[in-house]
């Protein structure tokens, strides 16, 4: 049941603008927030792990917003969204004639993210051949566009995310061990909602207000009995 009025407010403007991206301050979330603060002035590669729906891309945006690269672009790539044959060209770009249908050259997502951050979602599904090229980027800070022998220098922070067990994929020969250690410089695990019951009130307020704004409705809140049931629910 929705009632008029509201719950305690979500994070507003603070000395840490990135905090507005992350809703919640439960004990389970505090290590995440502390790690983002520590990452701010650093260039370290980050590997975010967590179940589907834990907000990995939102956390990646917060890492970028907290960094010295915040004025530059953050580019996101879902490694499962493209066929294997197109992912390499999407990431690294190509020159004219590099493959059938390449009628003109195009920058890849890494070049678009130069001086900023690239977020590689579902990194565990990246083809093993493309993993080798990503490893070179992390080691040498350079790459070749598809169909070119010229090296392109790069200054980009890599933030990757996965809901898979990468160590298990390494054992099955599906993921490179050397790439794993290059990515896992700063591991950041996101807790699922079932471990964040204390955050449910403020999360609910955030999403209810978001819907009310979008639908031009009066501001509302969740009734106390409904809120209590949601907090007691055994989330999967």
- Into how many domains does the chain fold? 1
Quick check: is 131 in a domain?
yes
Q: Which residue has the higher pLDDT, 233 or 98?
A: 233
> Does pLDDT of 61 surpass 90?
yes
Q: Which residue has the tokens 């008029």?
A: 4
Asked which of 47-61, 109-123, 190-204 is least confident by mean pLDDT, the reply is 190-204
Q: Are strands 2-4 and 220-222 parallel, antiparallel or unpaired?
A: antiparallel
DSSP string, 79-130: TTSS-HHHHHHHHH-B-TTSSTT--S-B--HHHHTTTSEEEEETGGGS-HHH
pTM: 0.87
Q: How many CA atoms lie within 13 A of 227 on its CB side?
A: 18
Residue 229 lies in a domain: no
State the CATH number of the domain containing residue 177.
Answer: 3.40.50.300
**Domain assignment present for 208:** no
Rounded distance between C-alpha atoms, residue 149 and residue 94, angstroms: 11
Structure tokens at 23: 């809703």
pLDDT at residue 234, as a whole number: 81
Q: What's the whole-number mean pLDDT along residues 74-78?
A: 97
Predicted confidence (pLDDT) per residue in 160-191, tens digit: 999 999 999 999 999 999 999 999 999 999 99
Q: Please enumerate in sequence order all residues whose Cβ is within 8 A of that of 174, keeping only pairs 6 or more positions apart, or say none.
A: 124, 128
As a whole number, the mean pLDDT across the chain is 89
pLDDT digits (tens, 9 = 90+) for 15-25: 688 999 999 99
- In this prediction, residue 96 carries a pLDDT of 81
| E strand segments, 150-216 | 151-153, 157-162, 186-189
Q: Is residue 221 part of a domain?
A: no
User: Residue 12: pLDDT above 60?
Assistant: no
Indicate whether 26 belongs to any domain. Answer: no
Which residue range forms the structural domain that includes residue 178? 44-195
Confidence (pLDDT) at 6: 44
Band the pLDDT of 40: cuts 50, 70, 90: confident
Quick check: helix, strand or coil at residue 230?
helix
Statement: residue 7 has pLDDT above 70: no
Average pLDDT, integer, range 62-72:
96
Residues 90-133 pLDDT 10s: 999 888 876 777 778 789 999 999 999 999 999 999 999 999 99
Residue 27 lies inside a defined structural domain of this protein: no
Q: Specify if 223 maps to a domain.
A: no
Instruction: Please indicate, yes or no, if residue 103 is contained in any of the structural domains.
Output: yes
């Amino acid at each position: 049941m929705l009632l008029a009025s509201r719950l305690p407010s979500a994070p507003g403007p603070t000395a840490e603008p990135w905090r507005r991206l992350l809703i919640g301050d439960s004990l389970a979330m505090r290590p995440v927030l502390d790690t983002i603060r520590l990452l701010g002035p650093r260039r370290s590669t980050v590997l975010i792990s967590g179940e589907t729906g834990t907000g990995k891309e939102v956390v990646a945006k917060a890492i970028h917003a907290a960094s010295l690269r915040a004025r530059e672009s953050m580019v996101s790539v879902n490694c499962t969204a493209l066929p294997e044959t197109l992912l390499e060209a999407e990431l690294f770009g190509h020159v004219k004639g590099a493959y059938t249908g390449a009628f003109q050259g195009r920058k890849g997502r890494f070049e678009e993210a130069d001086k900023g951050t690239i977020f590689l979602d579902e990194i565990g599904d990246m083809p093993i051949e493309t993993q080798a090229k990503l490893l070179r980027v992390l080691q040498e800070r350079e790459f070749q566009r598809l169909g070119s022998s010229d090296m392109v220098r790069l200054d980009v922070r890599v933030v990757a995310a996965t809901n898979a067990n990468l160590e298990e994929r390494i054992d099955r020969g599906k993921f490179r061990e050397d790439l794993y250690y290059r990515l896992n410089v700063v591991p950041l695990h996101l807790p699922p909602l079932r471990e964040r019951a204390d955050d449910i009130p403020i999360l609910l307020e955030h999403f209810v207000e978001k819907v009310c704004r979008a639908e031009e409705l009066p501001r509302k809140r969740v009734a106390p009995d409904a809120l209590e049931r949601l907090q007691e629910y055994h989330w999967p």
